[in-house]
Amino acid sequence: MKIGLPGLVFLVLFVLKLTDHFNHSWWLVTAPLWVPSGIAVTIALFALAMAGIVALAEGRARRKRRGF
């Protein structure tokens, strides 16, 4: 079983939080778990938006060629 960098950072922050060496909120402690997912979702939404823009541009170009 492999633990990636976000998992390792989470475990370190988790242990530090439980031992009162790190007094930040639990949101910050769990951030290494949800930040990579947020980045992946952002990239996916950007790719989807770009695909939509390309589809619209192709549709307009097709209509221009037909004379509409």
pTM over 0.75: no
The answer on pLDDT for 34 being more than 70 is yes
22 vs 43: which has the higher pLDDT: 43
The 10 Å Cβ neighbour count of residue 57 is 10
Rg of the chain (C-alpha set): 22
Q: Beta-carbon neighbour count of residue 5 at 10 Å?
A: 9
Q: What is the mean pLDDT of residues 40-51?
A: 97
Residues 6+ apart with CB under 8 A from 48: none
With a pLDDT cut of 90, the percent of the chain lying above it is 72
The confidence band for 68, taking pLDDT boundaries of 50, 70 and 90, is low
Average pLDDT over residues 32-53: 95
